[in-house]
Amino acid sequence: MENKTGKNVSSGAKKVESLEKENAAVAANGGTAEKKTTVRKSVKTTATSGAKTAKPRASKSRVTAAEKKEEKAAEKRLNAAKDKAEKKEQKLLKKAELKQKKLEKKMAIKEKKLAKKEALAKKKAERKQNKLDHAAALKEKRVERKAERIARREMLRNESKADRRARIEREKKERVALKRQKALAREKEREQRMKAREAAHERRSQERRHKREQKTERKKHAPGFGGWLAAVISLGVACLALATVVTAGAFRMNDMTLETANGYRSTLYELVAASEDMDSNLGKLRVSSGAGEQRTLLTDVLVDSELMESALERMPIDNVTSTDISSFVNKTGNYCRSLLAKLGRGQALSEKEKNTVEYLYNINAQLYNELNEMTTHMTEKDFMAFIGGGEGVVSQKFGEVGQATLQEPEDTVDAPFTGEGNVGENKLTALEEVSESRAEELVKEYLQNYHIANTQYTGETLAHETACYNFTLTDESGNEIFAQITKNGGKLAFFDTYEQCSEKNFDLDTCDSLAREFLAQLGVSDVAAVWMSDSGMVADLTYTAVKDGVRIYPDLIRVRVCESKGRVVGMDAMAYLLNHDPERKIGTSMSREEAQQKLSNGLTPYSAHLAVIPLNGEEVLAHEFACTYGEEEYVVYLDAETGEEIQVYRVRASARGNFLR
């Protein structure tokens, strides 16, 4: 608030004069404008203090104090300016340092990115090089395998029959020994697991028994209630001791029963595991066509049958059921041995033998499913009743399984000698190999009348020791066609397509003509139809090569024709390609009349041909007689030299056409 006291001073001239003197003194002392202002403020403050007059000495003193104060203020401002300048300089330095660090960090990130990029490029180059090395190694390995195949083929070509039999027998023994060793190892491992479980169970039983004995001991030594209860306590102790003996015996009996039950349960699981393994091996065997894989699978099935037989011997099954199941298991093992012996002689499995394998697979599949369902759903009560010899769900299931194994096999074929495969030397090995691209061109040429819109290569297949290129083709209507081209020679070995055949617009004779036209386009003309049958609305036609009027059954071709559209929808010419030899020599034989005299009584022949048939991996000249026996029909083959009966087929009719058994 402004002080109003100084405004009442009457002598304003004196104040002005004093102010002028002060300003002059300041100017004489070199004061600044700021000092002048300070002096004026000081004079004003003095003026307002209420003094009416100011002496010159007092004004000079005040001027000196103001100067000193101003000097201090100036020094203070100077120091403040210096501090401000220093702070500003420090701030600039700090800012420069931060900028430098930021630049260094940016450079480090850039260098790190560059190093990472170089590492990725290096890694990519290494992967590329590894890929190239791997491809080169695979190529080298393929070359080596090809060289090994060529060497093996050359060795097999020059190998005598005795050496071949010895080699096959040696390889078979090695595989069987290895399989046996693995089976024994698995059996030993199972026994060890069983012993470990039994030891653990025994240990737990001992612990429980020890706890019960301790509890009994504590009760026996419990404090009495007085002398007057001594007699009662003595009697109680005696009864308790007797009860302890009886209880311990009962526990021991329960432990033995539990141990027996665990043993039977382990055996049952072993039986199910062996049946499951056999189911897998038989399932693969029924679709396998390579001799090497077939030998491996047959050996596996043989080992599985022995394991199943061993488990059955340890199961508490009644004699009838055990005999039924064991009979099936033994028959399976014996049949596998016979097939292994046949493969060991270099012969291929026939269609009839494959049908028997199919039968064994179906029976064992039913056996495995029943056993697996039983072990999954049986209760402890049912299992204890089973091992105790009583009737129950488990015993009933085993009885049903035993009855299922009594089914008879349907060992049928739909044409004579189908599925025999290669007989003698493979004729395709002498032909030149074709590339994948050339095979694709050939399959389009073979099926040019099927309006192919798309062709896709799907890999290679090895069947009957013959490599084939696989193709999936699609026609204009979207129907798929599967075809196989032989790697040697580029021949159409097989093709199949699905056609909706719902009406019978073409008879068998017309289908025969259509099939012959298709075969003629493939260069096959010297054939005769030996078996024709209707399967739904599709005609199944089987042809053999013919030379000098003799049917050559190893050179077999099968063709399927849609009776609705009159188009070939399938063909299998593998046997023809493997065995056909235009230079084949036909041996001499007894006359047809002499051979007919060798037929069994009651057979009436209505058709006869001279034929070359496959027998034990070799070609045999035989007389073929189609005969009747009452209302039934048979096809009989007699050796053309000796007249000995070597093959008999029974003709059966079904809704799917005629078949042979």
Residue 515 has what pLDDT? 93
Q: Do the beta carbons of residue 408 and residue 357 sit within 8 Å?
A: no
pLDDT of residue 610: 92
pLDDT tens readout for residues 130-176:
888 888 888 888 888 888 778 777 776 776 766 766 777 677 667 76
Check pLDDT > 50 for residue 615. Answer: yes
pLDDT tens digit string along 236-274? Answer: 655 565 555 445 444 444 444 555 556 566 677 777 788
Q: List, for residues 51-87, the tens digit of each pLDDT value.
A: 444 445 555 566 688 888 888 888 888 888 888 888 8
pLDDT in tens, 28-56: 555 444 444 444 444 444 444 444 444 45
> Do residues 603 and 636 make contact, with C-beta atoms less than 8 angstroms apart?
yes
Asked if pLDDT for residue 299 goes beyond 50, the answer is yes
Treating both helix axes as pointing N-terminal to C-terminal, what angle do 230-285 and 291-313 enclose, rounded to 10 degrees? Answer: 160
Categorize the per-residue pLDDT at 417 as very low, low, confident or very high, splitting at 50, 70 and 90.
confident
**Distance from C-alpha of 297 to C-alpha of 586, rounded to nearest angstrom:** 37
Return the structure tokens found at 316.
């508490």
Q: Is the pLDDT of residue 583 over 70?
A: yes
Confidence at residue 369, expressed as pLDDT on a 0 to 100 scale:
76
CB-side neighbour CA atoms (13 Å) of 173:
6
Which residues, at least 6 apart from 528, have a Cβ–Cβ distance to it below 8 Å? 543, 544, 546, 551
| Tally of CB atoms within 10 A around 264 | 16
What is the pLDDT averaged over residues 503-531? 89
pLDDT value of position 649: 84
Averaged pLDDT, 183-205? 77
User: Can you give the pLDDT at residue 3?
Assistant: 46
Would the CA dihedral through 376, 380, 381, 383 be positive or negative?
Answer: positive
For residue 221, pLDDT beyond 60: no
pLDDT at residue 625 above 90? yes
C-beta separation of 325 from 402 below 8 A: yes
pLDDT (mean) for 88-113: 90
Q: Which domains does the chain have, with CATH numbers?
A: 1-158 (no CATH), 163-404 (no CATH), 587-661 (3.10.450)
Q: Of the candidates 503, 432, 466, 411, which has an alpha carbon nearest to the alpha carbon of residue 578?
A: 466
CA atoms lying within 13 Å on the CB side of residue 66: 26
- How many Cβ atoms sit within 10 Å of the Cβ of residue 265? 15
Strand partners, 454: 474
Report whether pLDDT(346) > 60: yes
User: Across residues 609-623, what is the average pLDDT?
Assistant: 86
CA dist., res. 514 & res. 500, Å (int): 18
Q: Cβ contacts of residue 309 below 8 Å, gap of 6+? A: 326, 329, 330, 333
- Pairing between strand 604-615 and 550-562? parallel
Average pLDDT over residues 273-289: 79
Length of the chain: 661
pLDDT of residue 484: 92
**Average confidence score pLDDT of the chain:** 75
Residue 334 three-state SS: helix
Higher pLDDT, 296 or 25: 296
In single-letter form, the type of residue at position 344 comes to: G
Measured CA to CA, the distance from residue 588 to residue 595 in angstroms comes to 13
Mean of the pLDDT values across residues 608-617? 85
- Confidence (pTM): 0.44
